Amino acid sequence: MPQTFADPARPGPALRAQDLHVSFGDLKVLRGVSFDLAKGEGAVLLGANGCGKSTLMRALNGLAPVASGQIWVEGQAIVGAPLRAVRAARRQMGYVFQQFNLVPQLSAHQNVLFGAMGQRPLGVLGVMNAFARAEDRERAMACLDRVGLADRATHRPAELSGGQQQRVAIARMLMQAPRVVIADEPIASLDPKAGREVLDLLWRIVEEEGLSLLCTLHQLDLAEEYGRRLIGMKAGRIVLDAATGSVERAELDALYTGAARVDAAPEGVAA
């Protein structure tokens, strides 16, 4: 098992959430979520559909509005911070989505180049294939090569399989060169074989680059196999947070029984 990566120049956790509350209208989705993700740590977030996992992921990236609480990405607070600071924090954070979210009209290579969009002063102009710097074009190709898809550089997403599209999305995340990666059910729309390939690739890259990873999964077996730490959510709260070996299967199964959804469990009554 690889050692936890720690850079003495950057003390503190890679990601810290403190008493996060998020509501959509009257529905309280996150009801006081706190956790730290250490540098180089790979954790799996578990929970039933509708328990608030995706909302937590979106909040960590500043995509969902936070009612109260605070988030630090590599020490940078983002709740209530000016947009410029939020963008700086987002640049540190790669995001892998369930639906891949590639731009369907553009080639795999162009999609990977877009990973650097937040880092170039001219934004999209700096990462358009026609105008991008030679190093960036070269690096995007290297990222594609690393996920084993250099030969598909000119293909559009629709010409690739689901697993290949997710690998392109991982190459885009690599291009971004983040410190933290959050992956929101990265294999939920893939078949078991492709899903395992994508997880292998994601975990290998995260370990090789010394990144921190928070990944939501639905398969308990895979969660125990890949994650060294399991975080369990139920009805908008974290109800389980422990090293993988120390968790009983019954505790994991309990995450999916009873009032697990935020819309099934009114505030205060939850599990």
Partner 1 sequence: MSRPDLPPRFRAPSALAWVLMVGFAAFFIQGLYGADVSLDRLIRGATNLVRFVSLAIPPDFARWETIGWAMLETMNIAIVGVTFGCLLSVPLALLAARNTSPNAVVRVIARQLIAIARTIPDLIWALIFVVAVGLGPLAGILAIILDTIGFAARFYSERFEEVQKGPSEALTSTGAGRLSVIAGAILPESFASMTATSLYSVEKAIRSAVTLGLVGAGGIGVELSTAMRLFQYDQAAAIILVVLVAVIGFEHLSSSIRKRII
Among 32, 50, 69, 118, which residue sits at the site for partner 1 (rule: CB under 8 A)? 118
Binding mask 52-81 for partner 1 (x = CB under 8 A): ---------x-x------------------
Tell me how far CA of residue 42 lies from CA of 67, 199, 213, 236, in angstroms: 27, 12, 5, 22
Contact 21, 55 (CB under 8 A): no
Binding segment toward partner 1, per CB under 8 A, in 99-107, 207-215, 223-231, 256-264: 99-107
Q: DSSP letter at 263?
A: T
The one among 6, 27, 103, 188 contacting partner 1 by CB under 8 A = 103
Task: Give me the helix-helix angle, 192-209 and 162-176, nearest 10°.
Answer: 10
The Cα–Cα gap between 44 and 47 comes to 10
Beta bridge partners of 234: 237
Q: What is the DSSP code (8-state) at residue 64?
A: S
> Using the rule CB under 8 A, which residue among 2, 12, 65, 104 binds partner 1?
104
* Residue 15 binds partner 1, judged by CB under 8 A: no
Which of 35, 114, 203, 226 is in the footprint of partner 1 by CB under 8 A? 114
Contact call for residue 229 and partner 1 (CB under 8 A): no
Measured at the alpha carbon of residue 55, what is the angle toward residues 51 and 57, in degrees to the nearest 5?
115
Question: Is residue 188 near partner 1 by the rule CB under 8 A?
Answer: no
Q: Which residues bind partner 1 (CB under 8 A)?
A: 61, 63, 87-91, 93-95, 97, 99-106, 114-119, 123-124, 127, 169, 172, 176
